[in-house]
Amino acid sequence: MTNLQMVDLTTQYKKIKKEMDTAILDVIQSGKYINGEAVQEFTFELAEYTGAYYVIPCANGTDALQISLMALNLLPGDEVIVPAFTYAATAEAIALLRLTPVLVDVDPLTFTIDIEKIEEAISSKTRAIIPVHLFGQCADMEPLLSIAKNYGIAVIEDNAQSIGSVYTFSDGTTKQAGTMGEVGTLSFFPSKNLGCYGDGGAILTNNEELAQKLKMIASHGQIHKYIHEIVGCNSRLDTLQAAILKIKLPYLNQYIEARRKVAQSYTIGLKRLTDLIQLPSVRENSSHVYHQYTLKIKGNNRDKLQKYLAEKNIPTMVYYPLPLHKQPAFSNILRKGGELSESVKLCESVLSLPIHTEMESEQLLYIIEQIANYG
């Protein structure tokens, strides 16, 4: 059995090595390292894959959030609602712009923002909400979009983790994660479901005016070279990363299927251990692309189980050990939009198992067996 890892990017690379090496060499030989052809081409193909009208490439998923917020013309002190249980980047972009993150608790089963608790967090200063499609499934967007519409609040979907996840509305229409709000953000960090070989990101929108503005902001606030209309930043997806993503995008659905198979094996193998663990819940109106397979460990057993598995050479991770209001960087600048007890509990009890596109059935059986032995 191959050594267990949380993600295995090198085995994945070896399977597409030939076409990948050619694509990378082509870029190096072209000399067009910034804004080369592959950037346009990948952007076009990503629009096609997601169904978004406009795709603005940028340097990473954190920039994608920051640029999206910059495009909304918010003023210092304006409030942006975020789930308390997410990666810090979601709140960081808000804080950098001197906006106030307002935290809302998450649903203890799906770990996405608790729809029931959004309205009580809204104040006269609320301008935007950033639902996070956490671990691979969509936040419950239909009721969220309707609340946002009622209050005139912009929706930015943090879709760093769930590209390819599909949400079904009550009238039967479907949309991809990242294409339901005013804007959606993506990260191509190597370990994300569509990862490049460095940093990369993109912003999705269906709004032409917003698309122009996002593009301008990512490019020093200019449309015409050396005419800077607004204050922007420098955030580019470089040609090499775009060429790499262009090779990987056609494999994305296959990669998602591989992750689903791993998740299914875990779910079948672990389902009789309900005294010890809560398995991932998939909401009926969203598909799951399993960026993470995250268990909730009952009875204060999380740290003990993690240590036990480490002794058996099974790596696991705690995503995330602290809710945003307990992060030193944010604790003084945010506002709690209500009680955050579920987020606190999750940070004390979640445990993510290895999941990636290259897992072997022998590895899965071993992991399941060891967890069963503990339980």
Ligand X SMILES: *Cc1c(COP(=O)(O)O)cnc(C)c1O
By the criterion CB under 6 A, which residues form the site for ligand X?
60-62, 86-87, 89-90, 132, 158, 160-161, 187, 189, 199, 201
Q: Which is nearer to ligand X, 85 or 266 (CB)?
A: 85
Q: How far is the CB of 370 from ligand X (least distance, A)?
A: 27
Compute φ and ψ for 65, nearest 5 degrees: -70, -45
Q: Which is nearer to ligand X, 118 or 139 (CB)?
A: 139
> Residues 6 or more apart from 353 whose CB is under 8 A from it?
266, 293, 294, 295, 314, 316, 367
Q: Which is nearer to ligand X, 36 or 136 (CB)?
A: 136
Q: How far is the CB of 59 from ligand X (least distance, A)?
A: 8
Compute φ and ψ for 310, nearest 5 degrees: -60, -40
Q: How far is the CB of 55 from ligand X (least distance, A)?
A: 16
Q: Which is nearer to ligand X, 187 or 316 (CB)?
A: 187
Q: Which is nearer to ligand X, 58 or 270 (CB)?
A: 58
d(CA 357, CA 243): 20
d(CA 43, CA 194): 14
Q: How far is the CB of 160 from ligand X (least distance, A)?
A: 3
Q: Quick count: other Cβ atoms within 10 Å of Cβ 271?
A: 10
Q: Are 187 and 200 in contact (CB under 8 A)?
A: yes
Which candidate, 298, 315, 352, 375, places its Cα nearest to that of 5? 315
Q: Which is nearer to ligand X, 154 or 367 (CB)?
A: 154
Q: How far is CA 337 from CA 83, 102, 106, 114, in A?
A: 10, 6, 12, 12
Q: Which is nearer to ligand X, 178 or 337 (CB)?
A: 178
Q: How far is the CB of 237 from ligand X (least distance, A)?
A: 11
Q: Which is nearer to ligand X, 265 or 357 (CB)?
A: 357
Q: How far is the CB of 10 from ligand X (least distance, A)?
A: 20
- By beta carbon distance, the residue nearest ligand X is 61
Q: How far is the CB of 62 from ligand X (least distance, A)?
A: 3
Q: How far is the CB of 86 from ligand X (least distance, A)?
A: 5
